[in-house]
Amino acid sequence: MKYYFLLATILFVQISFSQDIPSELKKYNKGIDVTHSKDTIYAELYKGNKANRKKYLWRYKTSVKAENKELKIIEFGGYNKIDSIWVSTTIYDRPFNNSEFAKWYGCENGILTIGKVFTDKNNWTTSDYLDGQTKTGIWYYIGIDSKGEKFIGFKEYVLVGKLNE
């Protein structure tokens, strides 16, 4: 019975990692659960005054949790699908680091402890135009365990290019 469970688990992991995702995300074993407060996000008018924000805002929360072991986040970031190609994209044009994770997710030293969920309550994307189209993106997180093995977690989301009325 244990053999069948192991075989089913391996098959599930292979199927889930064979989906259309950036090849860089297929390098590591899965070990981080990622969820978004909304997987499909509609635009809203941006009413703030931050210079890096544009006319429209897609706002959501992103949460992460270690699956089986304590992991230190060493990198996280995003990809956007543009013309069927995944393009790495962040506000700094580089992956985010451990200290940014610790600050934005309220996670001491950027270490995911087992059983605890860490959330960025202010995740966002902006644009100056709405085209009615949907755009797909992925947030990913790479963590390292005490033995130096790297694990990954990621989750897609969809931005809808129109206001939620």
Quote the number of domains for the chain: 1
Question: How would you class 10 by CB atoms within 10 Å of its CB: exposed for 0-12, middle for 13-18, buried for 19 or more?
Answer: exposed
**Helix residue spans in 94-147 (DSSP H):** 98-105
Q: Are 110 and 70 in contact (CB under 8 A)?
A: no
Residue 5 lies in a domain: no
Tokens describing residue 96: 């985010």
Residue 4 lies in a domain: no
Phi and psi angles of residue 104, each rounded to the nearest 5 degrees, phi first: -75, -30
Query: Across residues 158-164, what is the average pLDDT?
Result: 93
Dihedral angle, C-alpha 141, 35, 80, 10, nearest 10 °:
70
Residue 48 lies in a domain: yes
Any idea what DSSP says for residue 96?
Answer: B
Residue 12 lies in a domain: no
Average pLDDT, the chain: 88
Q: What is the pLDDT of residue 126?
A: 86
Q: What is the pLDDT of residue 20?
A: 81
Pick 154 or 84 by higher pLDDT: 154
Which residues, 6 or more positions from 81, have their beta carbon under 8 angstroms from its beta carbon? 87, 135, 136, 137
CATH number at residue 122: 2.60.40.770
Residue 117 lies in a domain: yes
**Residue 18 pLDDT > 50:** no
Q: What is the pLDDT of residue 30?
A: 96
Residue 45 lies in a domain: yes
Residue 16 lies in a domain: no
Q: What is the pLDDT of residues 2-11, one digit of tens each?
A: 444 433 444 4
Instruction: Show the domain range for 69.
Output: 22-163
